Structure 1
Amino acid sequence: MLLLGIDIGTSSVKVCVVDADSQKMIVSAQYPEEESPIISLQPGWAEQDPEMWWEQAQQALSICQASGKYNPFDIAAIGIAYQMHGLVMVDKNQELLRNSIIWCDSRAVEIGNKAFDAIGHEKSLLHLLNSPGNFTAAKLAWVKENEPEIYAQVDKIMLPGDYIAMKLTGEITTSESALSEGIFFDFKTNGISEDVLNYFGFDSNIIPPVKPVFSAHGYLLASLAEKLGLKQGIPVAYKAGDQPNNALSLNVLNPGEVAATAGTSGVIYGVSDQLAYDPESRVNTFAHVNYAHDLQRLGVLLCINGTGSLYRWVKTLFGSSVSYLQMNTEASQAPLGSDGLRILPFGNGAERMLNNKLIGTHLHHIDLNLHTRGHIFRAVQEGIACAFRYGLDIMRENGMNPTVIRAGKSNLFLSNLFAESFVNVTGVPVELYKNDGSVGAALGAGIGAGIFTSPAEAFSNMHPIEVIEPNTKQLEPVYHEWKALLNRQLQVEQQILI
């Protein structure tokens, strides 16, 4: 029996086919090979066309189908992971009304701040576990305020993965986990937040029907099944945001377990059984994929927008001929500390852990007679690792103290230098697994379709391929200098605001 996983990323879409018995990936494909564009009509804005995601998903699936490594009619369920917090809107005919305002778009920061003040800080944090901030609800409020003719046509709002599920099944659904990531969920009432709906003036009818994460969210349309070469009626049995899904793919489901990823954005995601929150909403708490009213499982998420996006920008800056492997090799040839070169990796939208400030990316102490591009490549990786340490310290303030972090051996964790920098600057060992979001989505579908009796069974064959232990504290002075530069830049930004 086979499972299909679809991972809707910011840079590309990845599709894989997994054998349910062995839990191993048979084949995978990514489309496109180069990063997808982000539409930025104004500084701080970020949009993508959901039809682009749908086309990319079909292309990636077509590549898998053409491999001849499996019988497509053995696929029994479909799972979807997706970039979080994006806003997708359709009319009553399920037609798109505008591009999606995606996760790293910053236009709704002030709208969220005003909602935080109006609802009340204490009430928001107690009920929503977050400030409305720059999440999906605030993005929708921006559309309502600035594009009323579009808002008037809205029948249903969705997150990116919901749109792909709609295209596959014709059905639109959501989950409590999805509602929480959009800041529509009240953890005290375990229902849609009346405070958010009332403050923004949203009609509750725009919220899709709520279903469990692990359940049938619709069935593959007959007309589409023929086009895709699949059986009609296959259930879409799982949908989750990329970070909860990454945690699932690493079997991070219980209190105290922690996952990390360093793709377009960088994330540390820990599981808690407490309805806790950061008073400043620098880290955010959402309903995890296995959240239940009688068994609370919360995902505490630290997000750094500018990780892989910064490394991609540097790659583009130095020309398309340089590969990531070559960049990693040159970076490892530069000395620890990059001969004093420091980089603040914050140039991809408002950073939640910096109180939604837009401070940009900064390069410090460039010596034109000393520093090479290898120094820059290393300084980027060290700067990103320092940003992870900064965020992890915030999580520690809020009671999340990991003894080990699990990560997939992909994206920046493919770089030995980055993985070692991450471990040494945080002081936390990392277990690396041969797994990714599309595999997690496929196994999630197996759970949702009842092919596995439990998540434990779905990940019974998962073992780390590498464990990296901290072996030096030489990055500690680098981190403290980096942190001082960050604090100085934050003070500059505050003075500008004043």
Structure 2
Amino acid sequence: MLLLGIDLGTSSIKVSVVDAQTQQCLASVSYPETEREILTRQPGWAEQDPRQWWLDARQAILNAHATQRYNPQDIGAIGIAYQMHGLVVVDKEHHPLRDAIIWCDSRAVPYGEAAQQGIGAEYCQRHLLNSPGNFTAAKLAWVKEHEPDTYARIDRIMLPGDFLALQLTGESTTSISALSEGIFWDFERHALSEEVFGFFGFDKSLIPPVHDVFAPHGYVRETVAEELGLRAGIPVTYKAGDQPNNALSLNVLRPGEVAATAGTSGVIYAVTDQLFVDAQSRVNPFAHVNHTREQQRLGVLLCINGTGSMNRWARQTVARELTYPEANERAAAIAPGSEGLLCLPFGNGVERMLANQPVGAHFHGLDLNQHGPAHMLRASQEGVAFAFRYGLDLMREGGLHPTVVKAGYTNMFLSDVFTQAFVNSTGLAVELHQTDGSVGAALGAGIGAGVYATPAEAFHHMQPLRTIRPDDHQTAAYEAGYQRWKELLLRHLHPPAAPALLPDSVAR
């Protein structure tokens, strides 16, 4: 039996076909080859067309078939991973009513802040484990106020992966994990949050039926099966946000285990069995893929929006003629610390770990006689690594103390510069694995379809490619660089008050 995994990213759709018995990936394809556009009609906005996601997913599946490395008729289950915290709204005919408001869109921050004040910070921490912040519920509140005609036509709200499943099956469903990432879920009552729905004036009928993450979420329609060369009736047996799914793909399911990713956004995702709460909602707990009422499993998520986006901007701006591997080689030629050049990589929307302050991206200490493109490339990657260190310290303050991080050997972890900066500034070893979100989604489909008796069985053959540990000879240099970087960040977060103007008599 074969398993099809679909990973709906911000830049592209990736699909993988995995042999359920050997857990080997037979084919893996991304589409489109160039990064898909984010629509920014106003500063702080970020939208994408859900219909384009479906077109890209269809083409990616067909391109995977075209490799001829498997028989599409042998695919027996489908899993979907997706960019988190987005908002898709559809009418009764399942047509999108507007472009999706995606994860890095900042417009809903005031609505989340108003809900926190109206509902009460203590209640939010105890029941929601988060402030409503800039998550899906707050995005829906923005639509309700600014686009009332659209809001009145909404039949269902959903997250990006739910929309792909809807196109495949004609059925809309959700899960506790998905509802928690939208800040719709009350963990203490194990139900939809009465207070959130009441404060915003939402009707609960907007929420699709709630299924387990590992469960049938519908069956591929005959017309879609014909288009995609699949058997009709294949079940979609797994749906999860990209970060819980990334953790699953790395077999991070038990308390104390930690997963990381450094794609368009960067994430540290630590599993705990405790109701972890950060009073300022800078790091955010959500229901993990294996969370149940009886066995609590939360994923504490630290997100850095400006990760791969910072690395991409630097390459395109100062080294457009280079590939990413070539740019990494140039960066590696510069000593750790980038000869004093610092980068704050926060230019992709407001950052939750910075309390939603619009810090932006900055280079600091640029010497026109000393620094060149290679310094900027290295400083960008070190700045991202330092941002991870800053966020990890917030998690440590909350009582989480990881010792080893698992990550896929992909995106920025392909760069030795970034990986060395990460391990030496955080003090954590990193296990790199040959896996990604689409493979994780495929294995999740196998778990949901009952192919594997336990989740652990789905990762029986998993072994790390290599483990990178902190280097005693480099940690001091990175620590010094981090402390200078942190001082710069704090100056932006807490700028000194402007000096008072002198009276005219003194000024003269």
TM-score range, shorter chain: over 0.9
In the TM superposition, residue 336 of structure 1 has moved relative to its aligned partner by: 1.1
Number of positions where the alignment pairs a residue of Structure 1 with one of Structure 2 = 496
Q: Which amino acid aligns with 1:266?
A: G
1:320 and 1:419 map into 2 onto residues whose CA distance is: 22
**Shift in Å at residue 131 of structure 1?**
0.1
Structure 2 unaligned segments of length 5 or more: list them. 499-508
What code does the residue aligned with 2:492 have?
Q
Structure 1 runs, 4 residues or longer, greater than 3 Å off: none
Task: Specify the code of the residue in structure 2 equivalent to 1:204.
Answer: K
What's the CA shift string for 1:226-274, capped at 9, x where partnerless?
Answer: 1100000000000000000000000000000000000000000000001
**2:11 is equivalent to residue 8 of structure 1:** no
Residue 89 of structure 2 is aligned to residue 86 of structure 1: no
Match of 1:491 among 479, 491, 494: 494
Question: Under a length normalisation based on structure 1, what TM-score does the superposition of the two structures give?
Answer: 0.99
Q: How far apart are the structure 2 equivalents of 1:420 and 1:162?
A: 37
Alpha-carbon offset, residue 320 of structure 1: 3.9
Q: CA deviation at 1:214?
A: 0.1
Partner of 2:120: 120
Q: Distance in 2 between matches of 1:64 and 1:494?
A: 58
* Cα pair 1:287 1:299 within 8 Å, conserved: yes
In the other structure, the counterpart of 2:286 is 286
Aligned position for 2:145? 145
Q: Secondary structure at the match of 1:285?
A: strand
Q: 1:309 matched to which residue of 2?
A: 309
- C-alpha displacement at 1:319, in angstroms? 5.6
Q: CA deviation at 1:390?
A: 0.0
**Does residue 231 in structure 1 map to residue 234 in structure 2?**
no
Return the offset for 1:24: 1.0
Matches within 5 A, 1:271-420: 271-318=271-318, 320-420=320-420
Matching residue of 1:59: 59
DSSP 3-state at the match of 2:199 = helix
Cα deviations across residues 286-306 of structure 1 (Å, max 9, x unaligned)? 000000000000000000000
For 1:70, the aligned partner's letter is Y
What CA distance in whole angstroms lies between the structure 2 residues aligned with 1:243 and 1:279?
A: 22
**Which residues in structure 2 correspond to 1:121-270 (within 5 Å)?**
121-270=121-270
Distance 1:493 1:273, change over 3 A: farther
Listed one character per residue, the Cα deviations across residues 27-85 of structure 1 (whole Å, up to 9, x for unaligned) are 00001111110000111000000111111111111111001110001100000000000
Q: Is the 8 A contact 2:176 2:210 kept in 1?
A: yes
Deviation at 1:9, TM superposition (A): 0.2
CA contact (8 A) 2:404 2:429 kept: yes
Partners of 2:140 and 2:481 in 1: CA distance: 41
Aligned counterpart, 2:429? 429
Q: Which secondary structure state, in structure 2, belongs to the residue aligned with residue 492 of structure 1?
A: coil
Q: In structure 1, what is the Cα distance between the partners aligned to 2:265 and 2:233?
A: 35
Asked whether 1:97 is paired with 2:97, we answer: yes
CA displacement, residues 426-467 of structure 1 (integer Å, 9 cap, x when unaligned): 000000000000000000000000011110000111010000
Q: CA 1:189–1:493 in structure 2 vs 1: closer, same or farther (change >3 Å)?
A: farther
Alpha-carbon shift at residue 493 of structure 1 (Å): 9.4
Partner of 2:19: 19
TM superposition score normalised by structure 2: 0.97
Matched residue SS, 1:271: strand
Per-residue Cα deviation, 1:381-419 (whole angstroms, up to 9, x for no partner): 100000000000000011111010000000000001111
| CA–CA distance in structure 2, aligned partners of residues 493 and 353 of structure 1 | 21
State the distance in 2 between where 1:318 and 1:154 align: 45
> What's the offset of the Cα at 1:276?
1.7
The amino acid across from 1:357 in the alignment is Q
The residue number in structure 2 matching 1:478 is 481
Q: Deviations over 1:119-165 (max 9, x none)?
A: 00000010000000000000000000000010000000000000000
C-alpha distance in structure 2 between counterparts of 1:344 and 1:280, whole Å: 21
- Alpha-carbon separation, structure 2, partners of 1:137 and 1:311: 30
Structure 1 residue 350: deviation in Å?
Answer: 1.1
1:494 Cα deviation (Å)? 9.1
Identity rate, percent: 61
Shift of 1:358: 1.3
How far 1:357 moved relative to its partner?
A: 1.2
Report the alpha carbon displacement of residue 318 of structure 1 after superposing the two structures with TM.
3.0
Deviations 1:301-334, CA, capped at 9 Å, x for gaps: 0000000011111222136422111110000001
CA contact (8 A) 2:130 2:277 kept: yes
- Aligned partners of 2:319, 2:43: CA distance in 1, in Å? 24
CA distance in 2, matches of 1:150, 1:319: 43
Task: Confirm or deny: 8 A CA contact 1:359 1:493 kept in the other structure.
Answer: no
Amino acid at match of 1:478: G
Partner of 1:461: 461
Q: Secondary structure at the match of 2:438?
A: helix
Contact (CA 8 Å) 1:4, 1:78: kept in 2 or not?
A: yes
Determine the C-alpha separation between the residues in 2 that align with 1:316 and 1:100: 27
1:48 aligns with 2:48: yes
Helix, strand or coil: the match of 2:124?
helix
- The CA distance in 2 between the partners of 1:359 and 1:323, in whole Å, is 29
> Gapped runs of 5+ residues in structure 1?
none
Say whether residues 1:440 and 2:440 are aligned partners.
yes
SS of residue in 1 equivalent to 2:494: helix
> Quick one: distance in 1 between partners of 2:35 and 2:344?
22
- The structure having more radius of gyration, on CA atoms, is 2
Task: Kindly report the root-mean-square deviation, in angstroms, between the aligned alpha carbons of the 2 structures.
Answer: 1.1
Q: Is the 8 A contact 2:319 2:327 kept in 1?
A: no
Cα deviation 1:89-143 (Å, max 9, x = unaligned)? 0001101100000000000001100100000000001000000000000000000
Structure 1: which amino acid aligns with 2:56? Q
CA contact (8 A) 2:319 2:373 kept: no
Residue 75 of structure 1: aligned partner: 75
3-state SS of the aligned residue for 2:306?
Answer: coil
Farther-moved stretch of structure 1 (112-121 vs 307-316):
307-316
Q: Kindly provide the amino acid, as one letter, of the partner of residue 192 in structure 1.
A: L
Q: Which amino acid aligns with 1:476?
A: E
Structure 1 residue matching 2:215: 3-state secondary structure = coil
Q: In structure 1, how many angstroms separate the alpha carbons of the residues matched to 2:61 and 2:194?
A: 40
Tell me the amino acid that sits aligned with residue 160 of structure 1.
P
